[in-house]
């Protein structure tokens, strides 16, 4: 049986993505086959689409091939209903509403996901809203784990996919949050819980912070460190936007920061977020309690995924861009 999917064989621009009929996947023993209702885009998706930065083609051979992505169907985040389960899955059944994250394959009518990488959808979210959560919110939660009340937290890129969750998560802990964004997003970032908002088009960030979370990768390491207390923590998770291609891209800052961190009192880290049912369950509790909520900029139908990707990689999208797959 076939299904629709967004496929790419060679690296390129958004118009290299095409909708094709492909074979419907079959779940393995510990997998769940999900009928996808919605999926969302992340900076990761355009990095894989472009094969950018070029060094990534050598660093992650499970995702990046030399001339094209190893997995031709794009998409990590999804939300939908269980279609079938493998023999090792006992706690989910057809019809259950779920959300989760895979390495690839979500821009399709169906996706197979390990049981360990999905969980039940928050009851108070639509499928479109739920699809906007997994990768971005898990990343934000992983980066800010350990944040406590009263800490001063700076979030550079506060209006992006990860940033909008990071502001909410940090504020929910009682931290004093300063968000950095453009003029059009100042009120949004303030509404999410930021006590202070810096419009980078009009002013510079001043002061010292206990934690700086950089989600853009557009500042030099020494400039980020100047914003830290002597024993503060710098967290690097920048995705950036496409500007014609690069060799190192955000990898330069992340690797340089980790090396520098070996020789200074400040902690410099690049936390690695991994999808897990435990993290998704924790996020579901926060969402159902009203402490955090996804923000959606635009939605596109599956057939217009190339247009959605073009918007994401070049237009500084606010928060999340979502693909609707099934009604």
Residue 201, domain CATH: 3.40.50.720
Residues 119 and 197 in one domain: no
- Do residue 159 and residue 261 come from a single domain? yes
Asked whether residue 205 falls in the same domain as residue 305, the answer is no
For the record, the structure tokens of 290 come out as 């009203």
130: enclosing H helix or E strand? helix 127-131
249 shares its domain with 290: no
Residues 204 and 238 in one domain: yes
CA pair distance 287, 119, nearest whole angstrom: 14
Residue 110 and residue 235 share a domain: no
As a whole-number percent, the residues of the chain with pLDDT over 90 amount to: 79
Number of domains in the chain: 2
Q: Is there a contact between 36 and 110 (Cβ–Cβ < 8 Å)?
A: yes
The answer on 58 and 102 residing in a single domain is yes
* CA-derived radius of gyration, the chain: 19
Which residues, at least 6 apart from 57, have a Cβ–Cβ distance to it below 8 Å?
A: 51, 64, 65, 66
The structure tokens listed for 306 are: 């190339």
* 140 is a domain residue: no
Average model confidence (pLDDT) for the chain? 92
> What is the crossing angle of helices 277-288 and 134-143, to 10°?
90
Q: Which of 66-75, 147-156, 297-306 has the lowest mean pLDDT?
A: 66-75
199 forms beta bridges with 181
Final residue in a domain of this structure, among 254, 269, 284: 269
The pLDDT of residue 308 is 96
pLDDT digits (tens, 9 = 90+) for 243-271: 655 655 666 667 677 777 677 889 999 88
- The label of the residue with tokens 């279609």 reads 83
Same domain, 114 and 171: no
The domain that holds 47 is classified in CATH as: 3.90.180.10
Are 15 and 118 in a shared domain? yes
pLDDT tens digits, 198-212:
999 999 999 999 999
Residue ranges making up the domain that contains 256: 146-269
């Amino acid at each position: 049986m076939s299904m629709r999917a967004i496929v790419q064989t060679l690296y390129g621009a958004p118009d290299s993505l095409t909708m094709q009929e492909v074979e419907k996947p079959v779940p393995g023993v510990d997998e769940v086959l999900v009928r996808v209702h919605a999926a969302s885009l992340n900076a990761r998706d355009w990095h894989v689409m472009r094969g950018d930065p070029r060094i990534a083609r050598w660093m992650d051979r499970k995702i990046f091939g030399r001339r094209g992505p190893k997995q031709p169907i794009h998409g990590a985040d999804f939300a939908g209903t269980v279609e079938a389960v493998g023999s090792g899955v006992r706690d989910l059944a057809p019809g259950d509403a779920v959300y989760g994250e895979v390495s690839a394959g979500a821009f399709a009518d169906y996706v197979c996901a390990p049981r360990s990488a999905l969980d039940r959808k928050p009851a108070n979210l639509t499928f479109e809203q739920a699809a906007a959560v997994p990768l971005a919110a898990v990343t934000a939660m992983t980066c800010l784990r350990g944040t406590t009340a009263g800490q001063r937290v700076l979030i550079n890129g506060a209006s992006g996919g990860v940033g909008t969750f990071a502001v909410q998560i940090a504020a929910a802990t009682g931290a004093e949050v300063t968000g950095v964004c453009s003029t059009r997003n100042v009120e949004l970032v303030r509404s999410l819980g930021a006590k202070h908002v810096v419009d980078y088009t009009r002013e510079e960030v001043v002061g010292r912070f206990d934690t700086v979370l950089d989600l853009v990768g557009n500042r030099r390491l020494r400039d980020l460190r100047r914003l830290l207390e002597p024993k503060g923590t710098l967290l690097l998770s920048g995705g950036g936007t496409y500007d014609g291609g690069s060799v190192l891209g955000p990898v330069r800052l992340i690797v340089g920061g980790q090396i520098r961190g070996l020789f200074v009192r400040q902690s410099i880290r690049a936390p690695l977020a991994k999808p897990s049912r435990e993290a998704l369950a924790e996020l579901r509790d926060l969402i159902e309690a009203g402490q955090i909520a996804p923000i959606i900029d635009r939605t596109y139908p599956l057939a217009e995924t190339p247009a959605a990707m073009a918007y994401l990689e070049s237009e500084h999208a606010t928060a999340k861009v979502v693909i609707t797959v099934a009604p």
